[in-house]
Amino acid sequence: MSKLELVQTLTGHKGIVWNVSWHPQGKIFASCGEDKTIKLWSKEGQQWTIKTVLVDGHQRTIREVAWSPCGNYLASASFDATTAIWDKKSGQFECNATLEGHENEVKSVAWSPSGQLLATCGRDKSVWVWEVAGDDEYECESVLNAHHQDVKKVAWHPSLDILASASYDNSVKLYKEDPSDNDWSCIATLQSHESTVWSLTFDKTGERLATCSDDKTVKIWKEYKPDNQEGVIVTDRESVWKCVCTLSGFHTRCIYDITWCHHTGLLATACGDDIIRIFKESETSDPNAPTFDLVCTKLNAHTQDVNCVAWNPTGNKEMLSCSDDGEIKLWSYTE
């Protein structure tokens, strides 16, 4: 019997905790929230404790934090319209660059797999791609106005410079760079959700994408490349993404976050019904019409909306979650 066991409840934030982000080595994580602080946590003996609190970086709620793949930089996206980049070149964490340009609330930030690019998105409906241009220098590579509503989340393909975004306009869009003028453009629009798409996550191959929505469903999308064996028609030599699976009837309220473990293949969701659910692909799953089983339902995981779930990147089946209830919880999954 699969189960999700609570390892530790971590308190410290005042008010809503919006997001948690594991350091790539899985021994530190960062959290952020309504209290405008970022807290860095690590293990002391058996207990996770706050090691550092980063304050004064932002004037409003911090919505999301993200570690760079090298683990030396932390980016934070805030409702104050800025994205801050923190590092500890001086010995302790300091904000050494601020990305300005969004008109208002920044909702999400993500580093590309190479660590050379950053993406941000927000209420101004735009998605921005930034390039690391040198020491503490970031240049705007592109401003993408493909969505026509608030953009909730950005996520990078695990190995290629392909970016995905999820929006209040119910769609998901994918982008890549055009080498001829170094500008980015939208290469695919994924439409099927009937309400806001809150989050999205690639699987380890990058050929599948899972999205979660206010319409209470999770959808799995598969990439069909040009000249695919299945005979799916591809125009303009750009891959086509098709929704190959919809998980409905499991969630009773808006699904705020979804995360795909690149080691175990397990999908976890954070839901407005205070529940964390874990799905596993069936052994006999058909790649063109995959099936997923709900293997774990953690009732009352939090006392309010679960905002974020994150698998430990080392694949040790540890998971973090955070909530409107002000708490962060560390879980351990066993089959």
Partner 1 sequence: MASRFSGALQLTDLDDFITPSQECIKPVKIEKTKTKTGAKIKIGEDGYFDVSNGQEQKLQKVEITLADCLACSGCITSAESVLVTKQSQEELLRVFSERQYTDNKGVTRRVSLIVISLSPQPTLSLAARYKLSPEDATHKLAGYFKSLGADLVLDMTVAEDFSLMEAQQEFLQRYQNQQNDPNSKNLPMLASSCPGWVCYAEKTHGNFILPYISSTKSPQQIMGSLVKQHLSQARHLPAGELYHVTVMPCYDKKLEASREDFYNEMLSCHDVDCVITAIELEQMLESSGLHLGDVLGLELDSAWGEAGSGALRRHAGSGSGGFADHVFLHAAEQLFGESNAQLVYKNLRNPDFREVTLEKDGKEVLRFAIANGFRNIQNLVQKLKRGKSPYHYVEVMACPSGCLNGGAQVRPVVGESGRELVAQLEVLYNRLPLAVPAQSKMLRKLYAEWLGGKDSDKAKAMLHTAYHAVEKSDIALNIKW
Q: Is 298 in the site for partner 1 (CB under 8 A)?
A: no
Pair 326, 286: CB distance under 8 Å: no
Nearer of residues 141 and 293 to partner 1, judged by Cβ: 141
3-state secondary structure of 198: strand
Say how far apart CA 65 and CA 30 lie, in whole Å. 7
Q: Is 253 in the site for partner 1 (CB under 8 A)?
A: no
Nearest-5° Cα angle at 181, 179 to 184 = 70
3-state secondary structure of 36: coil
Q: Is the dihedral of CA 203, 158, 189, 227 positive or negative?
A: negative
Q: Which of 182, 189, 248, 252 binds partner 1 (CB under 8 A)?
A: 182
Q: Is 145 in the site for partner 1 (CB under 8 A)?
A: yes
Pair 73, 116: CB distance under 8 Å: no
Q: Is 140 in the site for partner 1 (CB under 8 A)?
A: yes
Q: Is 334 in the site for partner 1 (CB under 8 A)?
A: no
Q: Which of 12, 24, 26, 101 binds partner 1 (CB under 8 A)?
A: 101
Please report how close the Cβ of residue 178 comes to partner 1 at its closest, in angstroms.
9
Please report how close the Cβ of residue 102 comes to partner 1 at its closest, in angstroms.
8
What DSSP character marks residue 179? T
Q: Is 238 in the site for partner 1 (CB under 8 A)?
A: no
Pair 237, 225: CB distance under 8 Å: no
Q: Is 150 in the site for partner 1 (CB under 8 A)?
A: yes
Nearer of residues 51 and 148 to partner 1, judged by Cβ: 148
Q: What is the CA radius of gyration of the chain?
A: 19
Tokens, residue 256 = 């705020």
Tokens, residue 296 = 């774990």
Please report how close the Cβ of residue 145 comes to partner 1 at its closest, in angstroms.
5
What does 53-95 look like in DSSP terms, one character per residue?
EE-SS-SS-EEEEEE-TTSSEEEEEETTSEEEEEE-TTSS-EE
Question: In this chain, which stretch among 3-11, 42-50, 124-132, 255-263 interacts with partner 1, using CB under 8 A?
Answer: 124-132
Please report how close the Cβ of residue 100 comes to partner 1 at its closest, in angstroms.
6
Q: Is 139 in the site for partner 1 (CB under 8 A)?
A: yes
Q: Which of 46, 47, 180, 300 binds partner 1 (CB under 8 A)?
A: 180
Q: Which of 23, 125, 153, 251 binds partner 1 (CB under 8 A)?
A: 125
Tell me the C-alpha to C-alpha distance, in Å, between residue 258 and each of 55, 213, 235.
Answer: 28, 10, 30
Q: Is 181 in the site for partner 1 (CB under 8 A)?
A: yes
Nearer of residues 94 and 150 to partner 1, judged by Cβ: 150
Tokens, residue 35 = 């209290």
Please report how close the Cβ of residue 275 comes to partner 1 at its closest, in angstroms.
21
Q: Is 304 in the site for partner 1 (CB under 8 A)?
A: no
Instruction: Report the interface residues with partner 1, using CB under 8 A.
Output: 100-101, 103, 105, 123-126, 131, 133, 139-143, 145, 148-150, 180-183
